[in-house]
């Protein structure tokens, strides 16, 4: 699925969704940078 980085509140959306799909996106290279925020 796609990440709503461009939408408003993307930081909050990603932070919450990241926890659910952390295992699925653990292999993605664009997750570590956002995970630290």
CA distances from 33 to 1, 14, 28, 37 (A): 19, 12, 11, 7
Position of tokens 């997750």? 31
- Nearest Cα neighbor of 36 from 13, 6, 15 is 15
Q: What is the pLDDT at residue 36?
A: 54
Q: Please state the rounded mean pLDDT for residues 25-34.
A: 57
Residue pair 33/24 in contact (Cβ under 8 Å)? The answer is no
Distance between CA 29 and CA 9 in Å, rounded?
A: 21
**10-21: pLDDT as tens digits:** 666 666 666 666
Structural domain boundaries of the chain?
Answer: 1-37
Q: Is this model's pTM higher than 0.85 or not?
A: no
């Amino acid at each position: 699925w796609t990440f709503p980085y461009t939408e408003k509140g993307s930081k909050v959306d990603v932070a919450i969704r990241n926890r659910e799909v952390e295992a699925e996106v653990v292999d993605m290279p664009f997750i570590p940078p956002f995970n630290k925020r």
